[in-house]
Amino acid sequence: MPSQLDLFTADDAPALPLARLSNNPNAYHPADCHWIRAEPMPGYVLRLGFARDTDGWHMAAGYHFPDVGSIGPVFVRSNAYPVYGDARRAGLERLRLMVNGLQLARTISPDKAKRIREAIDNITQAAQCGLSLVKDAA
């Protein structure tokens, strides 16, 4: 069974989230799924996913860290955001909370946590400057 991270394409093109396996009728259309990827240190991968649906924007957040393992990303279908910017902020906040939890559990070092949080801040700044890899919700 592949990991959830293996379900993403290497070039950050729209890819199949976990919900799209087995021809799931409730899955998002691939044209409406977009991803941001950051690798603040070799092997430490952060991923954010965004999907537009009839009720608004949904987000997914997850990571793969070699010394911790993988969590997600999977879509949170229960939370719909009216605009893309709100979904992006929620995804970035979810990543920050994950990193804070790992540092509190002493699973990763303070230095690694700091570098990962800086990468999350860089994603935030790039998105605010219009340099995001994610398509605008025009």
> Which sequence spans correspond to the domains of the chain?
4-128
Nearest Cα to Cα of residue 37 among 2, 73, 12, 3: 12
Beta bridge partners, 63, equal: 46, 71
CA distances to 4, 6, 96 from 109, rounded to whole Å, are: 25, 26, 15
**Looking at 2-11, 49-58, 73-82, which range is the least confident one?**
2-11
Q: How confident is the model at residue 110 (pLDDT cuts 50, 70, 90)?
A: confident
DSSP code per residue over 108-130: S-HHHHHHHHHHHHHHHHHHHTT
> Whole-prediction pTM value?
0.59
Q: How confident is the model at residue 124 (pLDDT cuts 50, 70, 90)?
A: low
Helix ranges (DSSP H) in the chain: 84-104, 110-128
Cβ atoms of 32 and 51 closer than 8 Å: yes
Kindly report, residue by residue over 51-72, the tens digit of the pLDDT. 777 778 888 777 888 888 887 6
